[in-house]
A and B are shown apart, each in its own frame.
Chain A
Amino acid sequence: MADAPNYSWPPQEKRRVIGKPTTRLDGFVKSSGRAKYSSDVQRPGMLHGAMLTCPHAHARIKSIDASAAETSKGVMAVVPMAKAGHEVQYAGFQVVAVAAATIDQARDALRKIKVDYEVLPHFVTERDIDKAGPRGKPSGDQVTGDPDQAFKDADVISEGFYGIPVLNHCTLETHGDVIEWKGDQLNYWPSTQSLSSIGGELAKAVAIPATNVHTHMDYMGGGFGSKFTFDRWGLACAQLSQKSGGRAVKLFLDRANDHETAGNRPSYFANIKLGAKKDGTMTVWQSESWATGGVNGISLAPNAIPYIFRGTPNKRLKHISVSINAAEQRAWRAPNNPQFSYLTCTAMDDLAAKLNMDPVEFFYKNLEYASGPPGAEVYRAQLRKAADLAEWNKLWHPRGQSGGGIVVRGLGIGFNAWGGLGHASSCRTKIHPDGSVEVEIGSQDLGTGTRTVIAIVAAETLGLPVRAVKVNIGDNKYPVSGASGGSTTVGGVSASTRKSTMNALVKLFEAAAPALGTTPDQLEAADGKIQVKDTPAKSLTWKAACQKLGARTIEEVVDSNPRNSLGLMSGGAGGAQIADVSVDTETGVVKVNRMVAVQDCGMVVNPTTAESQCYGAMIFSINGALHEERIMDPATGRILNPDMEFYKLSGIGDVGELVVHLNMEPEIDKRGVIGLGEPPVIGGIAAIANAVTNAIGVRPPVVPITPDKVLAALERRKA
């Protein structure tokens, strides 16, 4: 091959499948219940695992006696997960694992285990920073400009307290895996966001070569950032299987323990004081913030806020990391950005109200402070578009001036920013002599539509229908690809698939050129044919071209990464969201009438699944704004709602009309593929909280805005 092929995306107007709505490849298997998730795996003689957990938020293990479990009916293996003397830092910490013939027998055995604890004092609630004492650790102060002078010079000052609590990931498939030893080989079916690397990590923990671990996962039931590692229970599962002579063991956390230990998002609270000029220019930001990420606190840079509006000239920023007796935080869809956006956009919305200014005009003006991509002008255009779609000019009224009545309506705004640059990804394309095509990547489809994206990119490149491409993912025998976190997958696999399929196509051109009496560089693939560029009448069908390979299969592996992605992908997405809510001032119930998201994500590969990402993200925001929070009991140190009854998620009837507008303008499109999992999940909580405040005229400072908080805020307003 003389020159490297031109990998660039085809011009927008020439694309056949990229950018066209495509139903997801695995839609049928999922909707028919035939998709086998790792927790659905059945193996011959498989055992079921369960774990005994610590009921105390803080305790020292004095002794563990699991002897009665060893002889309990059906039990094949017992594995201690902690030793006497261990200081447990949160309730739900797993102490002993058991494998038995049935899940009920495993749980029977757990009840026979005796663990003696020395109970120690605990601390589990961080909302009131004055009570944190030594559990709060300052993580730095920053001063920019002259905040004191700026407050003196300000025409308007707004002060408030704002908070957003800890959430649980609440993945529907809990954390866990099936593990089966075969001699020194280990078969591993995890539920993971990191298919290519998780087996090697587990291998290290059980001291076998990484190549001895065979990781397979076809489908997974939600991760949202909480499923990257094999975890303590993964190791316990491997040990249970080993101890029971290599029998497969299925060990998935129960719902309560999943909430206790397998994923939570940090809280964020702040006292914020802002100053502005009469014309609406924000001149100064001062915040004292604190947050917890569990037992290790959460060390956030003090300048994480103001979010997006980072160019504010005068700032004083303090942050305190609070340690509580709860499991460590995990990455949660756009780690910490929803919190940053919430604190920033609510405090600024209050400043706008104090200025008697329309928030659209206020945010528009202050977007001059927007730092980094996509840049102020993209945000401003998005804000205008969102305002149009939300009928802002018709429906908005100044704060609290909703015209009376029991049910009042309001509108609010929130913004997002995210990187989303694709990860490193290797891809193997096989073109077989019979014309079949396989694309292989050691990636995973979390439900975002990764499989379908890979097929679309391959089909576009090869001139084939999407369903003519067989996509092989979810096994570590395929080329290594990055973990699915931080919206890095769609860019990563799009770039690697494009390059790998293009290289394979060049090989096919070489095989087909003699039959067409031309040179490979004169050929193109289109509409299921290999044809001569300027004379498409001279062509071979795809099948006929592949027959020219004889017995040979083309195999092209490409290692793609952000440094060699040649503009196929980039990072830096942004968006604006507007919420339209109604609040019943007698019951305190908030109803979302409509939410509008205007979102940039570079080149859109599949509008169907891209829009679904946005819809889902907006529903995440409705959850976070109105329903969802982990509630800790200060008395016992335990979570009061580690379930799905009192850990509230929206139902199908709790979600209003959702409107998504994806930016697909040429100047956005030319940036290549940018990840979309995180950005639209960031600004919606602020938008809804601002809409409620606009409706009722007073701010419930801490989300979720449950009816009691609405009524309390209204009481405060009267008082």
Chain B
Amino acid sequence: MSSKKEPKQGSARADVTRRGFIRGVGVGGGALGAGVLEREAEAQPAGAQTAGPGPVPVVLSVNGKTHNLTLEPRVTLLDALRDYLDYTGAKNVCDRGVCGACTVLLGGKAVYACSVLAIDAQGKEIQTIESLSAPGAAPHPLINAFVQNDAQQCGFCTPGFVMASKAFLDRNPNPTYEQVKDGLGGNLCRCGTYVGLRKAVLQAAKSMKGARNG
């Protein structure tokens, strides 16, 4: 994860030190790993400026709406969305940037929201699954395709897959079956919905293409 992005004017500084960050996330990482990382971080030259550890103002733009929050710099984008803004479509599953259940789009790119700090998500448009079925608007073709192809069972991985699929189709509007298998390799499902998922993404690609041509 990078914490080196330029902070947005008027919002909290995003240049969190590695040390502070590692301390923040270290609990889940196991005592040994965190200790080693922390010592390594101590050896780094400290940044000129630090944010936190106390709460700082954070401005997030989610689905076109601006949210002014006060968050500790260690708060992940996922926790900010879920615990502070009630966007609960993105799920916390592996907590480690592996399974993709927390996938959201940050500046149009798919990211694991569990592995991005909220302060680093400032200044970019954050798009969550909730944006694909805005009240009063037709649901995104991916949602229909997921329903029609039964691409969900328990459904816990599903929002992440839909967002990953959106980012994938935005880049590859006309994918082959093989490309779908490669392109969605960053998400995991436990129930085993991959058969429906593969069909859903291909069907959505077709219907989105139709929409563009129309």
Binding site for B on A (CB under 8 A): 23-24, 26-28, 30-37, 39-40, 42, 48, 55, 102-104, 107, 110-111, 170-174, 219-222, 224, 254-256, 446-449, 608-609, 611-612, 615-620, 643-645, 649-653, 655, 658
Asked if A615 and B155 make an inter-chain contact with CB atoms under 8 angstroms apart, the answer reads no
Asked if B143 and A31 make an inter-chain contact with CB atoms under 8 angstroms apart, the answer reads yes
A28 CA / B138 CA spacing, docked (Å):
12
Q: Does B90 contact A (CB under 8 A)?
A: yes
Query: For residue B94, which residues in chain A have a CB less than 8 angstroms away from its CB?
Result: 255, 643-645
- Contact for A172 among B133, B154, B184, B198, CB less than 8 A: B154
Q: Which has the most chain A C-beta neighbours within 10 Å: B130, B151, B153, B157? A: B153
Query: For residue B147, which residues in chain A have a CB less than 8 angstroms away from its CB?
Result: 23-24, 27-28, 31
Asked if A616 and B188 make an inter-chain contact with CB atoms under 8 angstroms apart, the answer reads no
Asked if A643 and B96 make an inter-chain contact with CB atoms under 8 angstroms apart, the answer reads yes
Pick 25 A–B contacts, CB within 8 A, sort by A.
A27-B152, A28-B147, A30-B158, A31-B142, A31-B146, A32-B139, A33-B88, A33-B130, A36-B88, A39-B91, A42-B83, A102-B75, A104-B74, A172-B91, A172-B93, A172-B154, A219-B154, A254-B28, A254-B95, A255-B96, A615-B194, A620-B192, A644-B188, A649-B188, A652-B187
A653 CA / B194 CA spacing, docked (Å):
9
Query: For residue B128, which residues in chain A have a CB less than 8 angstroms away from its CB?
Result: 33
Asked if A26 and B155 make an inter-chain contact with CB atoms under 8 angstroms apart, the answer reads yes
Asked if B98 and A644 make an inter-chain contact with CB atoms under 8 angstroms apart, the answer reads yes
Asked if B151 and A644 make an inter-chain contact with CB atoms under 8 angstroms apart, the answer reads no
How many interface residues does chain B have, given as a range? 35 or more
Query: For residue A650, which residues in chain B have a CB less than 8 angstroms away from its CB?
Result: 192, 194
Asked if A645 and B181 make an inter-chain contact with CB atoms under 8 angstroms apart, the answer reads no
Q: Does B21 contact A (CB under 8 A)?
A: no
- Contact for B150 among A55, A222, A609, CB less than 8 A: A609
Q: Does B129 contact A (CB under 8 A)?
A: yes
Q: Does B46 contact A (CB under 8 A)?
A: no
Determine chain B's interface SS by DSSP, over half rule. loop
Kindly report which residue of chain A lies nearest to residue B99, judged by CB atoms.
Answer: A644
A487 CA / B185 CA spacing, docked (Å):
31
- Contact for A615 among B24, B142, B157, B196, CB less than 8 A: B196
A34 CA / B139 CA spacing, docked (Å):
12
Asked if A103 and B83 make an inter-chain contact with CB atoms under 8 angstroms apart, the answer reads yes
Kindly report which residue of chain B lies nearest to residue A21, judged by CB atoms.
Answer: B150
Query: For residue B153, which residues in chain A have a CB less than 8 angstroms away from its CB?
Result: 446-449, 612, 616
A644/B28 contact (C-beta < 8 A), A42-B86, A446-B154 known: no
Asked if A617 and B192 make an inter-chain contact with CB atoms under 8 angstroms apart, the answer reads yes
Kindly report which residue of chain B lies nearest to residue A108, judged by CB atoms.
Answer: B27
Q: Does B197 contact A (CB under 8 A)?
A: yes
Q: Does B79 contact A (CB under 8 A)?
A: yes
Q: Does B132 contact A (CB under 8 A)?
A: yes
Query: For residue B152, which residues in chain A have a CB less than 8 angstroms away from its CB?
Result: 24, 27, 30-31, 447
Query: For residue B99, which residues in chain A have a CB less than 8 angstroms away from its CB?
Result: 172, 644
A32/B132 contact (C-beta < 8 A), A608-B150, A615-B195, A652-B187 known: yes
Asked if A615 and B93 make an inter-chain contact with CB atoms under 8 angstroms apart, the answer reads no
- Contact for A173 among B154, B182, B194, CB less than 8 A: B154
CB within 8 Å of A: which of B1-34? 24, 27-28, 30-31
Kindly report which residue of chain A lies nearest to residue B180, judged by CB atoms.
Answer: A652
List of 6 A-B pairs having minimum Cβ-Cβ separation, nearest first:
A33-B89, A619-B192, A221-B156, A616-B192, A33-B129, A30-B155
Nearest-Cβ distance from residue B192 to partner chain A, whole angstroms: 3
Q: Does B190 contact A (CB under 8 A)?
A: yes
A107 CA / B95 CA spacing, docked (Å):
14
Kindly report which residue of chain A lies nearest to residue B131, judged by CB atoms.
Answer: A33
A255/B158 contact (C-beta < 8 A), A55-B31, A102-B83, A612-B193 known: no
Q: Which has the most chain A C-beta neighbours within 10 Å: B75, B96, B129, B192? A: B192
Kindly report which residue of chain A lies nearest to residue B184, judged by CB atoms.
Answer: A652
Query: For residue A173, which residues in chain B have a CB less than 8 angstroms away from its CB?
Result: 91, 93, 154, 156
A350 CA / B157 CA spacing, docked (Å):
39
Encode B55-74 as 1/0 by CB contact (under 8 A) with A.
00000000000000000101
Q: Which has the most chain B C-beta neighbours within 10 Å: A28, A110, A448? A: A28
Q: Does B172 contact A (CB under 8 A)?
A: no
Asked if A612 and B150 make an inter-chain contact with CB atoms under 8 angstroms apart, the answer reads yes
Q: Which has the most chain A C-beta neighbours within 10 Å: B82, B83, B185, B198? A: B83
A608 CA / B150 CA spacing, docked (Å):
7
A612/B130 contact (C-beta < 8 A), A23-B148, A30-B158 known: no
Asked if A172 and B72 make an inter-chain contact with CB atoms under 8 angstroms apart, the answer reads no
Query: For residue A110, which residues in chain B have a CB less than 8 angstroms away from its CB?
Result: 27
- Contact for B162 among A33, A219, A224, A620, CB less than 8 A: A33
A6 CA / B199 CA spacing, docked (Å):
41
A615/B190 contact (C-beta < 8 A), A104-B24, A644-B98 known: no
Nearest-Cβ distance from residue B153 to partner chain A, whole angstroms: 4
Query: For residue A620, which residues in chain B have a CB less than 8 angstroms away from its CB?
Result: 192
A655/B72 contact (C-beta < 8 A), A24-B150, A27-B146, A172-B157 known: no
- Contact for B27 among A107, A446, A615, CB less than 8 A: A107
Query: For residue B189, which residues in chain A have a CB less than 8 angstroms away from its CB?
Result: 172, 649, 652
A48 CA / B129 CA spacing, docked (Å):
24
Asked if B185 and A255 make an inter-chain contact with CB atoms under 8 angstroms apart, the answer reads no
- Contact for B96 among A171, A615, A645, CB less than 8 A: A645
Kindly report which residue of chain B lies nearest to residue A33, judged by CB atoms.
Answer: B89
Kindly report which residue of chain A lies nearest to residue B55, judged by CB atoms.
Answer: A102
A649 CA / B190 CA spacing, docked (Å):
7
Nearest-Cβ distance from residue B155 to partner chain A, whole angstroms: 3
Nearest-Cβ distance from residue A443 to partner chain B, whole angstroms: 15
Nearest-Cβ distance from residue A682 to partner chain B, whole angstroms: 14
Asked if A447 and B191 make an inter-chain contact with CB atoms under 8 angstroms apart, the answer reads yes
A578 CA / B6 CA spacing, docked (Å):
56
Nearest-Cβ distance from residue A365 to partner chain B, whole angstroms: 33
